[in-house]
A and B are shown apart, each in its own frame.
Chain A
Amino acid sequence: MAEDGILVDVRVHDGRHHLKLATTAACVGVCGPSGAGKSTLLRVLAGVEPGVTGTVRALGETWLGPALVVPAWRRGVGWVPQDALLFPHLNVRQNLDYSRRSGAEECLGIARLLGVSALLDRAPRNLSGGERQRVALGRALLARPRLLLLDEPFSALDRNLRARLAADVAAYCKDRALPVVLASHDDPDLTAFNAERWEFVDGVLSRG
């Protein structure tokens, strides 16, 4: 868990949108209607949202401040975007190992945890939406992140698999004391991660 938690206080989209969140919880769940800013919040934390001003602090470090921007590749996050965005020129195995930070054995372990062991030689175009999401999750975990950013990571899975996978991934993160920010429509997801619940109401984030 991060010593002093996560602080986000930024303006995005040329200052039209204000995102504010401050917590010390190890696991944060963000809810709200589509377009409220859940994905934007995760991108701000990942460092891949352009045109952001304000303050971002996490893991006891300042990632964004006046005259300071820590680039995405130095933040040590694992970002799982909503539409997976698997690299189309690489197969599943190569996608999982993209960061090249984990050994082959660890790759196989993660593939097993996520139930994608049988897909390792497939191309992303031959995967279902749910399979893509799981590979994207594995790819992020294998980058050895210090903070995991999950954007609707289980949305394309059927209900049974969703509940099981959410529990497994939550347990994996808890074992490793890996803090998580999770954007989700789905309350069971938040429960599985024992997440502190934040909700967008009229564009403003608040504890709920």
Chain B
Amino acid sequence: MIDPLSAIRLSLLVATFATLAGLPPAVGVGWLLARRSFAGKSLLSALLMAPLVLPPVVTGLLLLRAFGHDTLAGKALAAVDLPVPFTLFGAMIAAWVVGFPLMVLSARTAFESVDPRFESVSAALGVRPLRTFWRTTLPLAAPGLCAGAVLTFARALGEFGATAIVAGNMEGRTRTIALAVYSLLDEPNGEPQIRVLLVASLTISVAALYGWERLNRWQRRRLDVAHG
């Protein structure tokens, strides 16, 4: 028996985790890539972007190799009761890894769109760099950062390949929307459940992309003011 509501719930859970856990590091890395030059910047950027172009199945396999039961990292996580292979946590990690590049990319673009002269003005008013970041850089980049989060959420929601490899396809535990649809294709009477999942997928994805579009527009408007 495949429960479409359980699949939707698991997908939302996984996508929420991937988004919230990805946002803080993505803000840090995005800022670093936008505002600083350092040795190995291109390499770091390439490594972070890799999950965007790697086949998700390969990403999943790499994750399994890194966090499997017989690896150091895998043992450490299992010791704190967070094993990765074939668990919901594994699905979360897979979605996080696959979604993270989108968030870094968005954060980098958002920070690059902020005129660094605002940071100069802030400093020349006697405000320390960290406070300048909180009071000027971050608010000015905020719409773009939110847009990145929304895009990541949408991407994580539909994650299939890496999730299937890392977390498997266990009803009620790791069977997210995409995996449930895949399983239902083999069920002779699966059509009603498939319809529920299709409607849910379309609704959430379109809503997310609509939000993404609005946020991007807000970002452009916000920065237009500066030169208006």
A residues with a Cβ closer than 8 A to B are 43, 46-48, 71-79, 81, 83, 85, 87-89, 98-99, 101, 123-125, 139-140, 143, 145, 149
Contact = CB atoms under 8 A, between A and B. Distances in A.
A143 B222 contact: no
A46 B126 contact: no
B226 interface: yes
Contacts of B115: 85
B125 interface: yes
Interface of B: 115, 117-118, 120-129, 132, 135-136, 139-140, 222-228
Contact of B126 (A43, A85, A87, A101): A101
B225 A72 contact: no
Contacts of A48: 117, 120-121, 123-124
B222 A72 contact: no
A72 B223 CA distance: 24
Nearest to B120: A48
A89 B123 contact: no
26 contacts: A46-B120, A46-B124, A48-B121, A48-B123, A48-B124, A71-B123, A73-B124, A73-B128, A74-B126, A77-B124, A85-B117, A85-B118, A87-B118, A87-B121, A87-B136, A87-B140, A88-B225, A88-B226, A89-B222, A98-B125, A98-B127, A98-B135, A124-B225, A125-B224, A140-B125, A145-B126
B123 A125 contact: no
A125 B225 contact: yes
A66 to B, nearest CB: 22
B121 A85 contact: yes
Contacts of B136: 87, 89
Contacts of A73: 122-129, 132
Given A85-B115, A87-B136, A123-B225, 15 more contacts: A46-B120, A48-B120, A48-B123, A71-B129, A73-B124, A73-B132, A75-B124, A76-B126, A79-B121, A79-B125, A85-B117, A85-B121, A124-B225, A124-B226, A145-B126
B217 to A, nearest CB: 15
